[in-house]
Amino acid sequence: MEKKYSILYAEDDIKIRKNYVTFLENYFDNIYEANNGQEALKIYKDKKPDVLLVDITMPIINGIDLVKSIREIDNETPIIILSAHSHKEYLFGAIKLNLVDYLIKPINRIEFKEVIESSIKKISKNLFSNEDEKMTIMKNSYWNKTTRLFFHKDRIVDLTKNERILFELLLSKKNQIVKPIDIASYVWDSKNTNVNDASIRNLVKRLRKKLPVDIVQSIYGSGYILNF
């Protein structure tokens, strides 16, 4: 499966970083992690991630100085700054850095989701205008082939990574029955997977519940089919 978007997350608190990474996996295929600003700058230069998520208080190079260094050569990549502080000096230092947002910890999940989606839209300039990238599902609902995201009334449907992969598989086999064994090997990326039928049923159930249109059908004893 082709990889699309990547994010660099620079945060020296490993526990916090791992918690956020779990959420970011729903939106990004490649997540690069950095423990400090110096490491983050090296990863940025090597990997050229699509989005940057940067904590301010990091060792060696802090978040503000890191972003300043990046903005000297790149003024387009979406950058989100995280801070446990609300002091004016931090905010004033960030104003001129062309940020997507400046978020104060602890971050509200809904607010974080909106900012991440805003970043995705920023790097997908033709997200809503390029009709070649859209596959219309039903009225007001479509799948964007470039971003691999499902939209309903121009809002992203909040699918997990595995739900998105499953939908992509069913879409590639539209009007064809997809067997559970094929779902297991594709979604969990292993031909010798031990994923059981209950796990597959639960995944399909969650996907069907989130889709605004009822287009995934169960075929008793055979598998599942996407029909629209």
| Mean pLDDT to the nearest integer, 217-222 | 92
Provide CATH 3.40.50.2300 ranges for the chain. Answer: 6-123
What share of the chain has pLDDT > 90, as a percent?
Answer: 40
Is the pLDDT at 145 greater than 90? The verdict is: no
Summarised one tens digit per residue, pLDDT across range 168-214 is 999 999 999 999 989 998 888 755 556 788 999 999 999 999 998 88
Tell me which of 2-6, 34-38, 99-103, 212-216 is least confident.
Answer: 2-6
∠ CA 11-12-15 to the nearest 5 degrees? 85
Give φ, ψ of 74 to 5 degrees: -150, 110
Higher pLDDT, 127 or 137: 137
Question: How far is residue 38's CA from residue 186's CA, in Å, rounded to a whole number?
Answer: 37
Summarised one tens digit per residue, pLDDT across range 64-111 is 899 999 988 888 889 998 887 665 566 666 666 777 788 888 888 888
Could you say which architecture CATH assigns to the domain 6-123? 3-Layer(aba) Sandwich (3.40)
Contact 222, 177 (CB under 8 A): yes
Higher pLDDT, 90 or 36: 36
Topology of domain 131-226 in CATH is Arc Repressor Mutant, subunit A (1.10.10)
pTM: 0.58
Question: How far is residue 134's CA from residue 68's CA, in Å, rounded to a whole number?
Answer: 36
Is the pLDDT at 35 greater than 90? The verdict is: yes
Provide CATH 1.10.10.10 ranges for the chain. Answer: 131-226
DSSP state, 133? G
CA-wise closest residue to 60 among 82, 76, 36, 81: 36
Contact 183, 166 (CB under 8 A): yes
Tell me which of 81-90, 112-121, 148-157, 192-201 is least confident.
Answer: 81-90
